Amino acid sequence: MKKIMTFDPKKNKVVKAGELHNDIFLKKVGVKHFMNIIQGYGIQEDVIQQLVEKGCSKIILETPTGLLESNLSIWLEPNIKVLNYGHGPQRFMPVKYMQRRSNEKT
């Protein structure tokens, strides 16, 4: 397990973005992280680039209602919006492009 860190300009500090387990990135997200306008979740752009460099293949978001899984390659597609709501540039993935999985640990 390797912690993936990023700088959050709104908080003005380095924060833990998630953990890399072999080639799977696991990120815990709360209700406040859900972006209604996108109907999905965001990951900082620099974190996405770190994941590419480290050979990550899957992203799992641990949400209050269960796990959502997607391939990293989907997050890199041109139609995925990169927006900045004050926490730095983030790629936002609609939940409809993720698969629900059971709550077993990775």
pLDDT at 81: 87
pTM of the model: 0.91
Cα–Cα distance measured from residue 41 to residue 22, given in angstroms and rounded to the nearest whole number: 22
Cα–Cα distance measured from residue 65 to residue 82, given in angstroms and rounded to the nearest whole number: 25
pLDDT at 102: 67
pLDDT at 19: 98
Cα–Cα distance measured from residue 101 to residue 12, given in angstroms and rounded to the nearest whole number: 34
pLDDT at 78: 93
Q: Over 80: is that where the pLDDT of 100 sits?
A: yes
Count of H-run helices and E-run strands, the chain: 2, 9
Evaluate the CA torsion angle 63, 19, 95, 86 in order and state its sign. positive
Q: pLDDT (tens digit, 9 = 90+) per residue, 19-52?
A: 999 999 999 999 999 999 999 999 999 999 999 9
Cα–Cα distance measured from residue 68 to residue 74, given in angstroms and rounded to the nearest whole number: 13
Q: What percent of the chain has pLDDT over 70?
A: 95
